[in-house]
Amino acid sequence: MPYASTKQLIQRAAHAGTVIPAFNIPYLPMVEPVARALKDCNSVGLIVVARLEWEKFESKSLEAVRDEYEKFKSPAHTRLHLDHVPVIDEDDRRVDYPAIITRAIAAGYESVMVDGSRLPFDENVACTRAIAQLAHASNIPVEAELGAVMGHESGPLPPYEELFASGKGFTDPDEAARFVQATGVDWLSVAIGNIHGAISAATKGQQKVAARLDIQHLDRIHQKTGIPLVLHGGTGIRKKFILDSIRHGIAKINVATAIRQPYERHLAKGVIAAQDAVYAAMLTVIRDELEVQNSNIRLNQEDKPYLHYELNSL
Ligand code: 13P
């Protein structure tokens, strides 16, 4: 029986009220423990790299991550996804995003993200639509972002509670509906109180704030768009909000800091120790935080919807 495509997997997760986690690879040796944990938990997850992880960390290039992925992939448990390729990056520089995305598709990435969220609405629409056309021609689904999921920028963030209370940068539900309609994008990354883990040298080791999510706001976006939604900044969000968000349209959740920091903290003891720390962190995320152990049983093998709680009683 052929395995499900990434598009089918996310669609099934959305219908079933469960989530597919996406794990970032800032260091190449992280691929092995991430894939191993997904297999050992019989879960489905995406292994992903963002442009800033080969520019500012040590994953070298999208092709290097693909090569590492090829050694450890499992058709029942893993898929390869290209995370944030910004149109304007976190340092305010323009990026040749069509060239990077074209390279990723040629290299075998099974889904891609274009991030035009730092652009005005109409320009974000135009860039995203062009990438959706390009990727769909190769049957590759596309994720885009609308609203501001902050945290990657080098400057200091406003205090979190201030940010949350003001709703500054939150995805507007009406704009989201127009965006989805105009671009043909497959999945939409939304801003509802989530923030990315910091990445500057001075801050990347710090603990993230325990972010909250505005679930009512998410629900409005979900009702208006009708496509699977994506939650970036998955580390450190209080569990109650995560589980609630999955019930209200989040079908993919990105996790980076929760597995990167253990790797960095243990590296002085050697790569094996650092990989073991990533593996242990993966088990915590899969089993305790997202509760997606055994998701392969239904997501990959049958077209039958199931509920999150059924999965976890297996
Ligand atoms: P965290 O670092 O908060 O887990 O965010 C990951 C992310 O959204 C990568 O795109």
CA of 235 to the centre of ligand 1 (A): 6
Closest CA to 85 of 76, 69, 97: 97
Residue from 209, 257, 282 to probe ligand 1 pocket by mutation (most atoms less than 8 Å from CB): 257
**DSSP-derived 3-state class of residue 229:** strand
- Predicted confidence at residue 186, as pLDDT, reads 98
Handedness of CA 314, 44, 283, 228 (dihedral sign): negative
Per-residue pLDDT of the chain (314 residues; tens, 9 = 90+): 578 999 999 999 999 889 999 999 999 999 999 999 999 999 999 999 999 999 999 999 999 999 999 999 999 999 999 999 999 999 999 999 999 999 999 999 999 999 999 999 999 999 999 999 999 999 999 999 999 888 887 777 788 888 899 999 999 999 999 999 999 999 999 999 999 888 888 889 999 888 999 999 999 999 999 999 999 999 999 999 999 999 999 999 999 999 999 999 999 999 999 999 999 999 999 999 999 999 998 787 655 555 555 555 44
Question: Would you call 27 exposed, middle or buried from its count of C-beta atoms within 10 A (0-12, 13-18, 19+)?
Answer: buried
Cα(83)–Cα(23) distance, rounded to whole angstroms?
10
Residues 98-120 as b or e (16 or more Cβ within 10 Å = b): eebbbebbebebbbbbbbbbbbe
C-beta neighbour count of 269 within 10 angstroms: 11
CA of 136 to the centre of ligand 1 (A): 25
- Predicted confidence at residue 90, as pLDDT, reads 92
- Predicted confidence at residue 304, as pLDDT, reads 57
- Predicted confidence at residue 305, as pLDDT, reads 52
Closest CA to 37 of 278, 301, 313: 278
Torsion angles phi and psi, residue 142, rounded to 5 = -125, 135
Beta bridge partners of 45: 78
CA of 2 to the centre of ligand 1 (A): 31
Closest CA to 147 of 130, 163, 129: 163
Residue from 20, 23, 24 to probe ligand 1 pocket by mutation (most atoms less than 8 Å from CB): 24
- Predicted confidence at residue 159, as pLDDT, reads 87
Cα(213)–Cα(227) distance, rounded to whole angstroms?
19
CA of 38 to the centre of ligand 1 (A): 18
- Predicted confidence at residue 154, as pLDDT, reads 75
Which residue type sits at 120?
A: P
Question: In order of start, what are the domains of the chain with their CATH numbers?
Answer: 6-305 (3.20.20.70)
CB-hemisphere CA count at 13 Å for 222? 22
Total-model pTM? 0.95
Q: Is 50 in the pocket of ligand 1 (CB under 6 A)?
A: yes
Residue from 49, 52, 196 to probe ligand 1 pocket by mutation (most atoms less than 8 Å from CB): 196
Residue from 25, 115, 232 to probe ligand 1 pocket by mutation (most atoms less than 8 Å from CB): 232
Kindly state the tokens that stand for 143: 């994720």
Residue of minimum CA distance from atom 1 in ligand 1:
233
Q: Is 197 in the pocket of ligand 1 (CB under 6 A)?
A: yes
> What percent of the chain is helix, strand and coil (3-state, nearest 5)?
45, 15, 40
Q: Which atom of ligand 1 is nearest to 255's Cα?
A: 4
Cα(201)–Cα(104) distance, rounded to whole angstroms?
27
CA of 287 to the centre of ligand 1 (A): 18
Torsion of Cα atoms, 185 then 187 then 189 then 193, to 10° = 130
- Predicted confidence at residue 170, as pLDDT, reads 96
Kindly state the tokens that stand for 234: 């998955």
Cα(133)–Cα(228) distance, rounded to whole angstroms?
19
**DSSP-derived 3-state class of residue 111:** strand
Residue of minimum CA distance from atom 5 in ligand 1:
233
Q: Is 257 in the pocket of ligand 1 (CB under 6 A)?
A: yes
Q: Is 143 in the pocket of ligand 1 (CB under 6 A)?
A: no
Q: Is 52 in the pocket of ligand 1 (CB under 6 A)?
A: no
Kindly state the tokens that stand for 164: 């949350």
- Predicted confidence at residue 310, as pLDDT, reads 55
Cα(229)–Cα(145) distance, rounded to whole angstroms?
10
- Predicted confidence at residue 314, as pLDDT, reads 47
